[in-house]
Amino acid sequence: MPRPATLPILDWKAVFDSGLDYASWLARAESSEQRDKLAAQHQTLALEPAVAGHLAALPRPVPVIAIAEDWCGDVVRHAPVLQRMAEAGPQLKVRYVSRLQHPDVFIRFLTNGGEAIPKFIFLNDQFVECGNWGPMPECCRDLIARGKACGDVAAARKKVSVCYEQDAARRQVVTELLRLVDIASSREA
């Protein structure tokens, strides 16, 4: 039996090093309107003290590569959450790259065969991939998948909007991202 095709090994450290920190990425926003939306989202977000304390005590570095572009609504919703978490946890190091900057990376993280952002790739301190997140919380991805399955994506998107309205503090996103941070910072199996 032939072996299945394997993807080439990526130099995750080089990809990480090629990225921008949040402030530099934000400064390069395609439009001032989108930059203002991102800044407003960031300003209104606050982490619960227990989450901030947990992030502050991470035992080792967790590099995160964020494939994100400011024109995307889900990026505007979720990149500020990741940034707030990075501010609370000095060991959480985030770098932003675009889809076009690293197409070989982005192609690995399609959502149901489609290009959707953001994608956050969590690495351990040895730059080994440990997990990824995006473009939206799991419950919302499920709604979109069900909408595709029944042929009514528009209705699914309306339900996603309701989910976003009900979780303005982004607790679901924080919970999912924190799980991946814990995996990437783990010292045991």
Ordered DSSP codes for 134-162: -SS-HHHHHHHHHHHHHT-HHHHHHHHHH
Q: How far apart are CA 6 and CA 36, in angstroms?
A: 41
Q: Residue 90 has what pLDDT?
A: 95
Q: Residue 135 has what pLDDT?
A: 95
Segment 164-172 long-range contacts (CB within 8 Å, at least 24 positions apart): 164/77, 164/140, 167/137, 169/45, 169/46, 170/45, 170/77, 170/78, 170/81, 172/137, 172/138, 172/139
Q: How far apart are CA 74 and CA 88, in angstroms?
A: 22
Q: Residue 149 has what pLDDT?
A: 94
User: Does residue 108 sit in helix, strand or coil?
Assistant: helix
Q: Residue 114 has what pLDDT?
A: 81
133-155: pLDDT as tens digits: 999 999 999 999 999 999 999 99
Could you tell me the two tokens for 59? 């035992």
Q: Residue 110 has what pLDDT?
A: 87
164 versus 97: the higher-pLDDT residue is 97
Segment 173-176 long-range contacts (CB within 8 Å, at least 24 positions apart): 173/77, 173/78, 173/81, 173/137, 174/47, 174/48, 174/51, 174/81, 174/85, 176/133, 176/137, 176/138
pTM exceeds 0.85 for this model: yes
63-118: pLDDT as tens digits: 999 999 999 999 999 999 999 999 999 999 999 999 999 999 998 988 877 889 99
pLDDT band at residue 181 using 50, 70 and 90 as cut-offs: very high
pLDDT band at residue 43 using 50, 70 and 90 as cut-offs: very high
Assigned fold of 12-136+170-185: Glutaredoxin (3.40.30)
45-59: pLDDT as tens digits: 999 999 999 999 999
Find the range with the poorest average confidence among 5-9, 37-41, 125-129, 185-189.
5-9
Report domain extents, the chain: 12-136+170-185
Percent of the chain with pLDDT over 90: 84
CB 92 within 8 A of CB 58: yes
Q: Residue 186 has what pLDDT?
A: 92
CB 44 within 8 A of CB 81: no
114-130: pLDDT as tens digits: 889 999 999 999 999 99
- The pLDDT mean for the chain works out to 93
Rounded to the nearest 5°, which phi and psi values hold at 130? Answer: -120, -10
Ramachandran quadrant class, 170 (left: phi over 0; alpha: psi -120 to 50; beta: rest): left
